[in-house]
Structure 1
């Protein structure tokens, strides 16, 4: 790890200030990606893209409820004609944004062994991470006619050289940090102590970090980081606190988080003064049978119900949607 790496907790003074008129907003990010078996070893081939047919319904739904999705797209999506046409239409109409999501195992050049460790792009040699990213970024610009300004590493896999890579490519926003979560057991980053609020990833204020929003809820929420550190050695330790409703870790996603839980997380985050909530989920969840969160069509309908309830609650609290351009402008970009 190098000094100033995005893997490190940022030093004091890096908090991002937002223009007063920005208020409190919400950004909806979609990990727009291929379908693959989450329980199986990674592989370069054999994935699917059938769920792409479900994206138009989702986009129309977002426009109806006032959401503005950011499609963080990876290599298979960008090179699928149907997906490109659907997303390009929304981007051209100003009702969605396009961003970059790097899944290194399906993104050329293919020089690394396929493994869980190498599925985190930041673990790759810097030149290879950059080559994969550049190939994807350039393909996105060519396909959608606009340069992407926002990035998420697949599996939240930042590395010690990612920040420099992103700045060199003109990326203004990273949203790979998932606070309160630790992926080190799989060879990935540990974000358990990273800030929840947006902050500058560099001293020059050229790269803004928008962490995916998570919150602790319950009587023991102030002890959340310590309890999760213990959980590394005792896997069932945290689940007991959750069952007893003493401590819950709430991620703002419809995947595995109920609407009631999400509303608690939203209220906690807004009451703490968070200027921007970042929601997230995976595009294959829009169709049944591709992720653990949508095994049936009823599960898919529950996802839409989750978003309807969440956005109604946000509207009641005066929280509006925003675009990546809004965020850049509000932070002095």
Structure 2
């Protein structure tokens, strides 16, 4: 069987029922607050932004969007997080998934290191047990069985697919196409497709990559030109400034609304059936991520969502859910 980190065969591309596409899925990497520039550690994190989840959930409901909260162990075991998320999830106004941060997720049998921060790098037994513990806490405290997974730091590994199938997961969304994390011990997703594809057709495990597109006159050359310029960031910046080539992930973190709108149009022009948007939950409160340092930044984040959601509606792209996606995907014969 091919590894979950391998490039898929073209025949693995997923197809959806007529009139389903295009759709978008709003995902939230729902996690503890920690210093992104400090070494990983078991403790020392906080959960001060949790009340802001309730504000964001109300915003999504007002916009007619069902967000997917991909929660890790500190969130899954927080009584406040359970109180905020449980009712919305059980009422179908939100969905919940699994996000594994191994350094804060028991059992703590591995050494803390950058390499081990990618769950897929862990020995099979440790990765599996950490996932099981987290999965069971979500079921216990949120009251539903999650069906979607995103590895923290996008850290899939050779054993990830088997444990996802064994735990009854139906969607993985850990592949961040157009990004390469191999320099720090992670995976290289530079050449992975944006289009959803089957990891395992027989078992019904679907990959839903996060959406990142190239824009500009050189966008068709982006797959090889952008990596070739990796060691020359000034030249990459110049190409972006001149609007010749820019890499646009669909996130409010480090991407302007204008850029995101352009990225949406590129993705739709390429016929992408599902757009996957994402951001980190600590950005919902000032001071916890590099992207939201003060109230003005937070206001801009919500303005970003208003602009992007309005443009998606204008382009006829409707919101979707994990349940709808699995209901619309054409099953293998």
Give the TM-score, by structure 1 length.
0.97
Which consecutive unaligned segments of at least 5 residues does structure 2 have? Answer: none
Separation (CA, whole Å) in 2 of partners of 1:206 and 1:198 = 13
Separation (CA, whole Å) in 2 of partners of 1:220 and 1:126 = 42
RMSD across aligned positions (CA): 1.1
Structure 2 equivalent of residue 69 of structure 1:
67
Contact 2:90-2:144 at 8 Å conserved across structures: no
Is the counterpart of residue 187 in structure 1 residue 177 in structure 2? no
Separation (CA, whole Å) in 2 of partners of 1:122 and 1:237 = 33
**Aligned ranges for residues 1-333 of structure 1 at < 5 Å?**
4-204=2-202, 206-332=204-330
SS in 2 for 1:264: helix
C-alpha displacement of 1:235: 4.2
Deviations 1:142-189 (A, max 9, x none): 111111000000000000110111001000000000000000111100
SS in 2 for 1:50: coil
Contact 1:103-1:121 at 8 Å conserved across structures: yes
SS in 2 for 1:279: strand
Separation (CA, whole Å) in 1 of partners of 2:310 and 2:228 = 37
C-alpha displacement of 1:93: 1.8
SS in 2 for 1:59: helix
Separation (CA, whole Å) in 2 of partners of 1:280 and 1:11 = 26
Separation (CA, whole Å) in 2 of partners of 1:235 and 1:299 = 26
C-alpha displacement of 1:53: 1.1
C-alpha displacement of 1:238: 2.0
C-alpha displacement of 1:222: 1.3
Query: Aligned pair count?
Result: 331
Contact 2:165-2:203 at 8 Å conserved across structures: no
SS in 1 for 2:126: helix
SS in 2 for 1:239: helix
Which consecutive unaligned segments of at least 5 residues does structure 1 have? Answer: none
C-alpha displacement of 1:231: 3.1
Separation (CA, whole Å) in 1 of partners of 2:269 and 2:230 = 30
C-alpha displacement of 1:203: 4.0
